[in-house]
Amino acid sequence: MSSTETHLFYNLTPDIILDAVSQTGLEVSGHIAQLNSMENRVFDLRLESGAHVIAKFYRPQRWSREQILEEHRFVKDLAEEEVNVLTPLVLRDETVFKTQNIFFTLWPRKGGREPEEISDIDLQILARLTARLHNCGEKLPFAERPPFSSGRLLLEPLEILQKKGFLHDEIIDEYRSLVTQCITLFQEAIEPLPKIRIHGDLHKGNILNGQEGYFLLDFDDALMGPALQDVWMLCPLHDLARRQVFLDAYREFREFEESWFRSAEIFRAVRIVHYSGWIARRYEDPAFKAAFPAFATAAYWQEEITILADILNSYSDFSEVPVSPKLTNRDYFFDL
């Protein structure tokens, strides 16, 4: 981001937000509340009619207009297939708007709660929803969205971590070695897997349960990738009985080869590295420094090295592993 864009994005004022939304033709009342989001800036606005809209301001230079439009076309395709998703508002035949070089979109406000405990019935519902998402996803490719590749997910984060000095001399060789192992295993894992349009970040924080049942939101990381990337964060991988519950429901709509699960641990390792690269890339943002105060400490990196080493050392066929290690937010959330 340019210094001007950076300053504006970090300091979006109510006046800037209200003026931008008013330019789309909506009549705003002046009532505004910021919602929890770190990668983008998201606000709840009340209109003069009493209705509410959600305004999402994209971090500058992360996505092009064409990439955002592909995201919107995907959710539109899903909605037309009656997959329960949020779709952006269309105003004056547009879904992407711009103010002072910052793209933004407007969405309906829809109530719902993030699932806390997922029962077997919930698991079946989410499996069917995911399978139907993937059935729609395979019908057309993305042309503009980023690749699901070791370069983007591993090499770029490693370069950023090194360039910004987060990897201290005493750990840099070990960390680089672990990432190099991840690259080799990840490339081997994804080579045979079919690539379709996927959500890309399907943790339970991007699923809400509302009056009409479960629905999916935030396709900000949608890309061409393997179905496993969406599945491994929802499916209880090491609880074989519940894994079978998920698979049986998913397979009512779409085939899924159980052997693909063997790559899930490598996908988890990749996500951990990418997560740290994401924090490093955004660390100048005051919100990130406040949210991740331990990121620059030796303890953070020693923990990450231990986790990555454990994953690589235990990499084996999931059918032989009945009990999983407890997963934490660091395994899942990288765009809060």
Give which of 99, 125, 73 is closest to 21, Cα–Cα: 99
Task: Assign 3-class secondary structure to the chain.
Answer: CCHHHHHHHHCCCHHHHHHHHHCCCCCEEEEEEECCCCCCEEEEEEECCCCEEEEEECCCCCCCHHHHHHHHHHHHHHHHCCCCECCCCCECCECCEEECCEEEEEEECCCCECCCCCCHHHHHHHHHHHHHHHHHHCCCCCCCCCECCHHHHHHHHHHHHHHCCCCCHHHHHHHHHHHHHHHHHHHHHHCCCCCEEECCCCCHHHEEEECCEEEECCCCCCEEECHHHHHCCCCCCCCHHHHHHHHHHHCCCCCCCHHHHHHHHHHHHHHHHHHHHHHHHCCCCHHHHHHCCCCCCHHHHHHHHHHHHHHHHCCCCHHHCCCCCCCCHHHHCCCC
**pLDDT exceeds cutoff 50 at 281:** yes
**Residues above pLDDT 70, as percent of the chain:** 93
Q: Rounded to 10 degrees, what is the CA torsion of 106, 111, 116, 122?
A: -100
**pLDDT exceeds cutoff 70 at 336:** no
pLDDT the model gives residue 1: 54
Tokens of 110: 């829809």
Does the domain at 3-108 match CATH 3.30.200.70? Answer given as yes
Given a contact cutoff of 8 angstroms between Cβ atoms, the answer to whether 210 and 85 are in contact is no
**pLDDT exceeds cutoff 90 at 331:** no
Question: In terms of DSSP bridges, do strands 207-210 and 213-216 run parallel, antiparallel, or are they unpaired?
Answer: antiparallel
pLDDT, tens digit, 9 for 90 and up, residues 72-81: 999 999 999 9
**pLDDT exceeds cutoff 90 at 332:** no
Mean pLDDT throughout 112-123?
90
**pLDDT exceeds cutoff 90 at 2:** no
Mean pLDDT throughout 142-146?
96
Residue 334's pLDDT band (cuts 50, 70, 90): very low
pLDDT the model gives residue 316: 53
Q: Is 119 exposed, middle or buried (0-12, 13-18, 19+ CB in 10 A)?
A: exposed
Enumerate the active-site residues. Answer: 201, 218
Handedness of CA 311, 153, 205, 17 (dihedral sign): positive
Mean pLDDT throughout 101-105?
96
Given a contact cutoff of 8 angstroms between Cβ atoms, the answer to whether 87 and 79 are in contact is yes
Does the domain at 120-332 match CATH 3.90.1200.10? Answer given as yes
1-5, 9-13, 149-153, 166-170, range with greatest mean pLDDT: 149-153
pTM: 0.90
| Residues 60-96: b if buried by 16+ CB within 10 A, e if exposed | bebbeeebbbbbbebbebbeeeebbbbbbeebeeebb
Residue 61 or residue 175, greater confidence: 175
* Other beta carbons less than 10 A from residue 126's beta carbon: 23
**pLDDT exceeds cutoff 90 at 314:** no
pLDDT the model gives residue 328: 52
Given a contact cutoff of 8 angstroms between Cβ atoms, the answer to whether 274 and 334 are in contact is yes
pLDDT the model gives residue 114: 87
Residue 315 or residue 208, greater confidence: 208
pLDDT the model gives residue 330: 52
Q: Where are the domains of the chain?
A: 3-108, 120-332
